[in-house]
Structure 1
Amino acid sequence: MVRKSIEERLAQIEAQRKTLKARLGKQERKDDTRRKVLLGALVLHRLGEDRDGEFSKRLGEWLRRELPGFLTRDADKELFADLLKASTEDSQA
């Protein structure tokens, strides 16, 4: 059995390190996405719930005030058009 040189072993360990680092990055992105989805689900649930009308109303007002400055892509703005439209309807009422 031929023993690997120190350089070969170091290269192998470095390759394993890169693989593990990539796997860790992928898991961190996956966890971040899951957190965002769950937080968004909570916000949408509270907006649609009438249990605490004042909180839901204030949350909706805050979102309508903050979202236009946060959303930069047209596709994202279209995605939230129903929520943003409620802002103009409220101000006209």
Structure 2
Amino acid sequence: MSRKSIEERLAQLEAQRKSLQARLSKDERARDTRRKVLLGALVLHRLEEGRESSADYLRDFIRRELPGFLTRDIDRRLFEDLIGPGKTG
């Protein structure tokens, strides 16, 4: 039975490190996406719920800030009900 050289062992460890790093990055992206979805769901729920002060504040904030945040027309069209058609930042 031959033993692995130090170089082979280091290469194997580096491959394992890269694999674990990729998995960590994937988990972090999934967590970030889930946070964004849940936060968006809360905002939409509050807007639909229609409590006067909080819903009005959110609508004003979204109408003011979202057009400048969105960079693609396809994304702007998703929010036309909130910001109106053709609004840009």
Q: Deviations over 1:48-69 (max 9, x none)?
A: 003x311111111110010111
Q: How many aligned positions are there?
A: 86
What stretches of structure 1 of length at least 5 have no aligned partner? Answer: 87-93
Partner of 2:68: 69
Identity %: 67
> Within 5 Å, which residues of 2 pair with 1:17-36?
17-36=17-36
- Aligned CA-pair RMSD: 1.5
Q: TM-score, normalised by structure 1?
A: 0.87
Q: Distance in 1 between matches of 2:19 and 2:53?
A: 50
> Within 5 Å, which residues of 2 pair with 1:46-57?
46-50=46-50, 52-57=51-56
Partner of 2:5: 5
Q: Distance in 2 between matches of 1:63 and 1:10?
A: 52
Q: Distance in 2 between matches of 1:63 and 1:31?
A: 24
* Cα shift at 1:79: 0.5
Between Structure 1 and Structure 2, the one with more helix by share is 1
1:14 aligns with 2:30: no
Q: TM-score, normalised by structure 2?
A: 0.91
Q: Displaced runs of 4+ in structure 1, greater than 6 A?
A: none
